[in-house]
Amino acid sequence: MASKNKPYRVIISGGGTGGHIYPAIAIANALKAIDSSTEILFVGAKDRMEMEKVPAAGYKIEGLWISGIQRRLTVDNLLFPVKVISSIWNAGKIISEFKPDIAIGVGGYASWPLLFAANWKKIPTMIQEQNSYAGVTNKLLAKNASKICVAYERMERYFPGDKLELTGNPVRKDILDFESKKQEAFSYFNLQEGKPVILVIGGSLGARTLNNSILAKIDELKASGVQVIWQTGKFYFQKMKEEAGRKNNPDVKVREFISRMDLAYAAADIVISRAGALSISELCLVGKPSVLVPSPNVAEDHQTKNAMALVEKNAAIMVKDIEAPEKMVPAALGLLYDLNKQKELSMNIKTLGKPDAAVHIANEVIRIIEAKS
């Protein structure tokens, strides 16, 4: 590392879901591990989950008054232009006060105004694009970015090739050490040894289709003798817990949110999941045979593109959202009892994992800062 007179100062912006927040925290942790004097400030959207999760991870965060555009006419949509102007103005104030050496955008509502303001103030910027399909915002920001860290190959379709760095997506460090925790995992989730386990995860906010598809086939799951760790998300938890309770299946463990994902992966034989970038990155690292059900309710249908990047390499099975109520559980049970297919998917998905993504990105951040000084 080159000598420096003062600590590095880094702003990391974005959030909205765990898929943006946890990679951002992983980058911050990697920067602090390289140089503990590094000063880091997060910028998120007010009232979103980053305002709680980032301080819990030990970092300061400032909130911007920004949200997405709704698909129907709402007061929020009418306020959107005001929110954009307000957020850019406040992002500029935050930058002036914090004086960062670099601003990193990880996606989410706050990412665009913060990076726009950073470009305006001639602060170097980096984009961390998590998906296999680049959204409009990142394509616009790419023109002024010093570096674009990506998780998938062939991203020169969307970004200038000379700015790309294939790093993979940063993930929570605790999931990398899960294989020795099976006993602890079975105790934590109150599972019975010797019976197979399916893990169902629909992202930090939950997934209606996955929840309804489990509910639709809960009798079939009971008859098959499998155990299920089922993360419903907070919006669906109470209803799903009540419905599952009526079915009287003690082998279905209903959870609102799973904070110990390392234990969930340790317990699981196979995983049913949405195809968000963070979920896929974690599945690649833990090498779990997976049934992916991409959400159709995302920009540019990017989850289907994420899933297809794995399916094309025979690294996962995909079930379309519209077909999930009928096909999701049968596909999972079919995989559960096909050990050869499990081994094949596990071997192929592991080749796509990048366990050092956060460190790789942190080193790129430092290179950009030092090239400027």
Query: What are the sequence ranges of the domains in the chain?
Result: 9-169+355-372, 174-350
CATH of span 9-169+355-372: 3.40.50.2000
Q: What pLDDT is attached to residue 78?
A: 58
Mean per-residue pLDDT for 320-346? 97
Fold of 174-350: Rossmann fold (3.40.50)
Radius of gyration (Cα) for the chain, nearest Å?
A: 21
Mean per-residue pLDDT for 254-268? 93
**End-to-end C-alpha distance for the chain, whole angstroms:** 13
Q: What pLDDT is attached to residue 274?
A: 94
Confidence of residue 335 (pLDDT cuts 50, 70, 90): very high
Q: What pLDDT is attached to residue 1?
A: 45
Mean pLDDT of the chain: 90
Q: What pLDDT is attached to residue 70?
A: 53
pLDDT in tens, 90-103: 999 999 999 999 99
Q: Please report, rounded to a whole number, the percentage of residues in the chain having pLDDT higher than 70.
A: 94
Query: 166 is written with which tokens?
Result: 């294939």
Same fold for the domain at 9-169+355-372 and the one at 174-350? yes
Q: How far apart are CA 280 and CA 265, in angstroms?
A: 13
Known binding positions: 17-19, 131, 172, 204, 258, 303
Q: What pLDDT is attached to residue 247?
A: 79
Q: What pLDDT is attached to residue 220?
A: 93
Q: What pLDDT is attached to residue 110?
A: 84
Say what the pTM is. 0.82
Q: Higher-confidence residue: 272 or 247?
A: 272
Known binding positions for UDP-N-acetyl-alpha-D-glucosamine: 17-19, 131, 172, 204, 258, 303
Q: What pLDDT is attached to residue 73?
A: 57
Q: What pLDDT is attached to residue 300?
A: 76
pLDDT in tens, 103-159: 999 987 889 999 999 999 999 999 999 888 887 888 889 999 999 999 988 899 999
